[in-house]
Structure 1
Amino acid sequence: MAYHQRSASAPSSPRSNKPEIEQQLQRLSTTIFSPSATIDTTCDGLRKLEGIYKCIEEMMCKPSNQVSLCQSLQRTALEAELGRSLVLLDLCNAVQGSFMELKMSVQELLFALRRGDDASFQVKAYIRLSKSAQKQFKKISKKAVSENECRVVMLMAEAREITISLLESTCGLLSKEVEMPKCSLISKTFQKTKFVCEEEQLRALERSIGDLETGVELLYRRLIQNRVSLLNTLSS
């Protein structure tokens, strides 16, 4: 599965920009919670989310919006989003670390396969790592903003909530790659602790994790740029 870097194009004016971003956020939310969600759709979601953040940043940097954002009430909400942006960056870092560990676990599965060893230990390690990655999301509180905030702040909050949900969904999908009987990389034999690994499927999983790493890295860089723009707006 090839991962292609693209960004959602931003409409030319704020009037046409806002509805388009809202539609993209709504579609992303639907995709995340869909029972048919896959790693492919998640990679696509990360790419679209990176583009959405770019559009929000462009809106935030418009002189007319900067004037409204620096007003007392909006400034308070903007400062709150600035603090939450650090939580989001830390979460992206943690997820990237989890991806690295999962790739190493898949590589260990491949080695066991080539040696003809019982891979049950490696399978359990992979499942444990993927579930451990999911636990970190329980510590994250999704804090929405009130309807009194300006649209730019509300869009930032909506994008933040969807980002957390998408990253959480990603870790869940990686866990299911092993656990689901029909689509699993590991198929059980008659003995419970005995597994038969298919190298081609393990290679596909390794590539998928790599694609997800790329997507989260691009998102991470965009979030840093957004944070810089936030700081610039607050200091103006």
Structure 2
Amino acid sequence: MASYHVRSNSLPSRPHPIIPEFEEKLSQARASEAASSSSASTSISYKLSGLQDLHDCVDRLLLLPLNQQALSQENHKKWVNQIMDSSLRTLDVCNIAKDALLQAKESTQALQSSIRRRRSGKIELSSEVKKFLTSRKVVKKAIQEAIGDLKGIESGCNFSPLNKDNETVTMLREVQATTLAVFGSLLSFISGPKSQPKPNGWSFISKIMRSTRIEEESQPNEFARADFALKLLISQNMKKSDNLNFKDAQDQLEELELCIQDLEEGLESLFRRMIRIRVSLLNILNH
């Protein structure tokens, strides 16, 4: 990891107290990618929370006069514009993830309602389950496209230090790389392990997503468990004697809804922070 304690044009020779905090948050965010958890959703939520803290640090760093002065220099503006472009594309991916979660939540709530109204008849309920699974396929397709977008964002950016005298730009690029990795984990979590693309030369993101795939295969997450429970339910032709399957499906859908709500809140909070940083950078460029 790059050190931000050196003398440079963009940071003071004696580091501001926020800088060590930033380094700590960046290290924690990276470490969370390799951390295991008894609950996959808990792991993803932890990653989103760590990313929120990291963006908070960046927001405060951008308020430092020396950083603003460095980023507003003409020879640095092109790199800041590149960061702005990649952050805009990352926000688009964030919106895709938000839409996928919203669609999954609505489908989950609708199916839960149908299961509670089992008096509607087993044929209609079977149809509702199939609608849910079809909706999941649509979500997975959108997620696959978003994963491809992440690959494009990473391949279009070189996250190695561009200029040893410009630590502020390096800092922003490090944050962008970490953000892409977390989004890779999140998208993989929502879609499930079978939607993983081949690495094709990916670096940081592909490594994280292969790790996420191994974790999912060893312990299915809330999305995968709900899919499995519902497939088992319709495979039994909705027999009245299969009360255990109905109960399991209900339980898995309830867990999935809670998981989705937690991810939605974390993603929305991160989205607001990303917007705030973009506004700060735009103000610096237009100063």
Q: TM-score range by the shorter chain?
A: 0.7 to 0.9
Please point out which of 146, 149, 167 is paired with 1:139. Answer: 149
Q: CA deviation at 1:63?
A: 1.1
Using the aligned pairs only, state the percent identity. Answer: 25
Indicate the SS of the match to 1:223: helix
In structure 2, what is the equivalent of residue 4 of structure 1? Answer: none
Task: Give secondary structure in 2 for the equivalent of 1:147.
Answer: coil
The Cα shift of 1:112 comes to 3.8
Residues 39 and 170, structure 1, Cα contact 8 Å, conserved in 2 = no
Question: For residues 152 and 25 of structure 1, do their structure 2 counterparts lie closer, same or farther at Cα, with a shift above 3 Å needed?
Answer: farther
- The correspondence of residues 102-181 of structure 1 with structure 2, limited to 5 A, is 102-114=104-116, 115=118, 116=122, 117-118=125-126, 120-135=129-144, 136-140=146-150, 141=152, 142=154, 143-149=157-163, 150-176=166-192
Q: Partner of 1:210 in structure 2?
A: 261
- Residue 74 of structure 1: aligned partner: 76
Distance in 1 (alpha carbons) for counterparts of 2:267 and 2:79? 26
User: Which one has the largest radius of gyration?
Assistant: 2
Alpha-carbon shift at residue 45 of structure 1 (Å): 1.3
For residues 21 and 73 of structure 1, the distance between their equivalents in structure 2, rounded to whole angstroms, comes to 28
Point out where structure 1 has 5 or more consecutive residues left out of the alignment: 1-10
CA distance in 1, matches of 2:100, 2:64: 37
Distance 1:190 1:228 in 2: 49
Instruction: After TM superposition, list the pairs within 5 Å mapping 1:1-236 onto structure 2.
Output: 13-31=17-35, 38-114=40-116, 115=118, 116=122, 117-118=125-126, 120-135=129-144, 136-140=146-150, 141=152, 142=154, 143-149=157-163, 150-176=166-192, 183=220, 184-185=225-226, 186-187=228-229, 189=232, 192=235, 196-197=245-246, 198-236=249-287
Q: Normalized against structure 2, the TM-score is what?
A: 0.67
SS at match of 1:47: helix
Distance 2:132 2:218 in 1: 14
SS at match of 2:161: coil
Q: What are structure 2's unaligned runs of at least 5 residues?
A: 1-14, 194-215, 239-244
Counterpart residue identity of residue 254, structure 2: R
Whole-angstrom distance in 2 between the partners of 1:194 and 1:171:
32
Q: Which runs of 4+ in 1 moved over 6 A?
A: 179-182
Q: TM-score, normalised by structure 1?
A: 0.80
Q: Does the Cα contact within 8 Å between 1:99 and 1:213 map onto a contact in 2? A: yes
Q: Please tell me the root mean square deviation across aligned C-alpha atoms, in Å.
A: 3.0
Shift of the 208–12 alpha-carbon distance from structure 1 to 2, 3 Å rule, reads: farther
Quick one: distance in 1 between partners of 2:162 and 2:143? 33
Cα displacement (A) at 1:12:
5.9
Deviation for aligned residue 1:214 = 0.7
Amino acid at match of 2:34: T
Q: 1:88 to 1:191 in 2, by over 3 A?
A: closer
